[in-house]
Amino acid sequence: MCSDLQKYGLTSESTAPDPEKRLRSRKIRYLTWDDWKRIDEEEQRLGAMHGKKREKLLSFENFLHNV
């Protein structure tokens, strides 16, 4: 692998695309870390209403509704 990097003049920057940019270009919905933290807070809030640690949100649509 290292010899290929030297042979083809590749760097870690040239071979590591921006994942969010790649997902957006392919029109793939994704969640960021901040989105996940908001979902986690909402699951804990919903769980507390039922005397539980959390109430899992089970669909991507529910995730998106809460971010």
pLDDT at residue 56 in the model = 92
Domain residue spans of the chain? 2-65
Please give the model's pTM, rounded to 2 decimal places.
0.61
pLDDT at residue 22 in the model = 84
Local structure of 24: helix, strand or coil? helix
pLDDT at residue 62 in the model = 75
Close Cβ partners of 67 (under 8 Å, ≥ 6 residues apart): 31, 35, 38, 39
Looking up tokens 């392919």 gives: 26
Residue-wise pLDDT tens for the chain (67 aa)? 677 767 776 666 655 678 888 889 999 988 889 999 999 999 999 999 999 999 998 887 777 776 6
DSSP code for 9: T
Q: What is the DSSP string of 45-58?
A: HHHHHTTSS-----
